[in-house]
Amino acid sequence: MDNDLPPQKKKLAIGWFSFTCCEDSTILLTELLNKNFDAWRKVVDFKHMKVLKTKNDMTNLDVAFIEGAASSQKQEDEMKKIRENAKYVIAVGSCAVTGLPSATRNQFVDSELNEKIQWYIKTFSYGQKVKKLDEVVKVDDYVAGCPMNVELFTQTLDKYLKLFGII
């Protein structure tokens, strides 16, 4: 081992996950990366972000940003796995924060659930109810908006960079 190398500076290990939603916050994040990538990559380890890379790792995350609602047991199980692997979980966007608009079908009464909707629920193993993120796992912070509020997102990112002593 070469002792002349400077010590590696700690980076905030983050993951970005998307579930049932229109993925508008992911699109905004991608746009933010156009402007901020060079600065952020010095302080952030993008461990899991399918929009950026193909080799992703969800283990030992400092912060997991989760966009979207849970529309199936499979998604709920994945959200729970993310929660187990992250010190903090942030709900991003209206579907994660409030469930809506993805959870609009929860407001239908049974007589309104016609054959077509029932076919989708059965065929794709959807749950009878779409759930916002904090109905599935403990959430530490919320970044509301459809799409997410960019200023609130950057404030939240800065909050965790400071919390972990990175900036």
pLDDT computed for residue 105 by the predictor: 84
Task: Return the structure tokens found at 119.
Answer: 């076919």
Under 8 Å CB-to-CB from 74, ≥6 apart: which residues?
125
What average pLDDT does the structure give for the chain?
A: 92
**With 50 as the cut, is the pLDDT of residue 1 above it?**
no
Structural domain for 95, as ranges = 12-157
Identify whether 29 is part of a domain: yes
167 occurs within a structural domain: no
**Which two tokens mark 146?**
């459809």
Any domain includes 6: no
How confident is the model over 86-110, as a mean pLDDT?
92
Backbone angles phi, psi at 35, to 5 degrees: -90, -35
The enclosing domain of 99 has a CATH number of 3.40.50.700
> Taking 60 as the threshold, does the pLDDT of residue 4 lie above it?
no
Element (H, E) at 49: strand 44-49
Q: How confident is the model at residue 47 (pLDDT cuts 50, 70, 90)?
A: very high
Q: Where are the alpha helices (DSSP H) in the chain?
A: 24-40, 73-84, 93-97, 115-123, 150-163
Please give the average per-residue pLDDT across 76-101, as a whole number: 97
Q: Which of 88-106 are b and which e, b meaning 16 or more Cβ less than 10 Å from the residue's Cβ?
A: bbbbbbbbbbbbeebbebe
Residue 128 lies in a domain: yes
Separation CA 33–CA 141 (nearest Å): 21
The number of domains in the chain is: 1
Q: What is the pLDDT of residues 156-166, one digit of tens each?
A: 999 999 999 99
